[in-house]
């Protein structure tokens, strides 16, 4: 075994994870590649010409060929049952309860790291590595995630839920690089087939990017159950009908089919009554949210119970200054004095101190009045 240790690298067949694996090999690690099959296209449906991502035969073959060419082992493991039982079921459950899920964070938190480490232990690996654009370091006995160098590719938001025991054995080789540098390194390493592969932004088990179709396929009789719901305005007046509450998200403007003479947005979803409230842009602004199922990584607990942070409420979010307050062992409250648009139940709020991730949680309450919190 290499003096640097043995590392199990998650390989999707894309440029980032491929460069991560070869980079670690070049740095002197004993590398083993692994590709995890998380979904089966025949089970999730959609159009075959949209089959993309880490679970296609082409992607798995690309990962395997890179391992062969660079002299390290590669395995393909089937985690469809592990993945489906948690991530896909939670995805459907969130939409059916009027929330908007973030399955990539769920996967990282509950599936990917645990699955990788189980296989790492079986293969005698000291570490695991991924192609995420983020950094991790040990500080004061804690493992701290921080932003990747490339602000356009930073993926620290999606990693807030990874546990300390998992971070202790995690390497992020790409954290100090920009995406353009990674593509250049791919060429330098001879990874010509993946060097120019486009990034995949679809949810891996919804490769056609049509979550409505996916829900209809997964939930028997869904269309009949939810059709004919009402759109109401901020005063409760009925202004139209919709196709069913699971097919809409907070902040949505397109596809409402409402001719009201002004732009309107989804401001509230009530799954119990199948009523969707619409309003103008200012009606989306909220100042406070509460989150549960929290993970506080940098400190373990919020220092002094309350601190100033920069908070992100979705993946592509620059973040806004706010106040983080710990309400209990498993709940936080984040206040944004200047307000945020479309804070959405089911998404994560992630709190930063500078570039460091303090922690985060799943949003479950959002205020629509500064003194009233509504639960979703």
Report d(CA 281, CA 235) in Å as an integer: 15
| Residues near 121 by beta carbon (within 8 Å), at least 6 away in sequence | none
Strands 30-37 and 73-78: what pairing? parallel
Residue 225 has a CB neighbour count (10 Å cut-off) of: 12
The catalytic residue among 54, 55, 125, 204 is 204
| 3-state class (DSSP) for residue 80 | helix
Q: In what order do the strands lie in the sheet with 73-78?
A: 73-78, 30-37, 6-10, 127-129, 170-171
Asked whether 215 and 222 are in contact (CB, 8 A), the reply is yes
Task: Look up 104 and say whether it is catalytic.
Answer: no
Instruction: Answer yes or no: 125 catalytic.
Output: no
Contacts of 187 (CB under 8 A, 6+ apart): 195
User: How far is the C-alpha of 276 from the C-alpha of 290, rounded, in Å?
Assistant: 22
Count of CA atoms in the C-beta half-sphere (13 A) of 292:
6
Catalytic residue among 107, 125, 289, 351: 107
Residues taking part in catalysis: 107, 204
């Amino acid at each position: 075994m290499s003096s640097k240790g043995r590392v199990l690298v998650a390989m999707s067949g894309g440029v980032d994870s491929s460069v991560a694996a070869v980079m670690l090999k070049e740095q002197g690690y004993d590398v083993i590649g692994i590709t995890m099959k998380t979904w089966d296209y025949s089970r999730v449906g959609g159009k075959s010409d949209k089959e993309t991502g880490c679970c296609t035969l082409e992607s798995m073959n690309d990962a395997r060929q890179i391992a062969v060419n660079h002299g390290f082992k590669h395995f393909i493991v089937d985690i469809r049952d592990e993945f489906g039982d948690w991530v896909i079921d939670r995805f459907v459950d969130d939409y059916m309860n009027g929330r908007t899920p973030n399955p990539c964070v769920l996967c990282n938190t509950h599936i990917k790291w645990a699955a990788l480490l189980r296989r790492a232990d079986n293969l005698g690996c000291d570490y695991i590595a991924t192609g995420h654009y983020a950094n991790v370091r040990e500080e004061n006995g804690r493992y701290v995630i921080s932003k990747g160098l490339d602000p356009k590719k930073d993926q620290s938001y999606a990693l807030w839920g990874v546990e300390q025991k998992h971070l202790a054995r995690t390497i992020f080789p790409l954290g100090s690089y920009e995406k353009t540098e990674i593509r250049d390194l791919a060429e330098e390493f001879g990874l010509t087939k993946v060097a120019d592969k486009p990034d995949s932004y679809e949810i891996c088990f919804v490769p056609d990017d049509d979550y409505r179709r996916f829900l209809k396929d997964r939930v028997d009789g869904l269309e009949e159950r939810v059709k004919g719901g009402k759109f109401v305005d901020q005063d409760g007046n009925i202004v139209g009908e919709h196709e069913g509450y699971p097919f809409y998200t907070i902040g949505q403007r397109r596809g409402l089919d409402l001719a009201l003479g002004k732009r309107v947005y989804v401001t509230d979803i009530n799954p119990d009554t199948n009523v969707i409230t619409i309003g103008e842009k200012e009606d989306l602004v909220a100042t406070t949210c509460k989150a549960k199922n929290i993970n506080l990584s940098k400190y373990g607990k919020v220092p002094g119970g309350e601190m100033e942070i920069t908070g992100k409420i979705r993946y592509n979010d620059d973040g806004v200054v706010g106040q983080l307050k710990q309400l209990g062992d498993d709940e936080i409250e984040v206040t944004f004095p200047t307000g945020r648009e479309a804070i959405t139940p089911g998404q994560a709020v992630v709190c930063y101190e500078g570039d460091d991730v303090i922690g985060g949680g799943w949003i479950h309450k959002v205020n629509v009045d500064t003194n009233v919190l509504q639960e979703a």
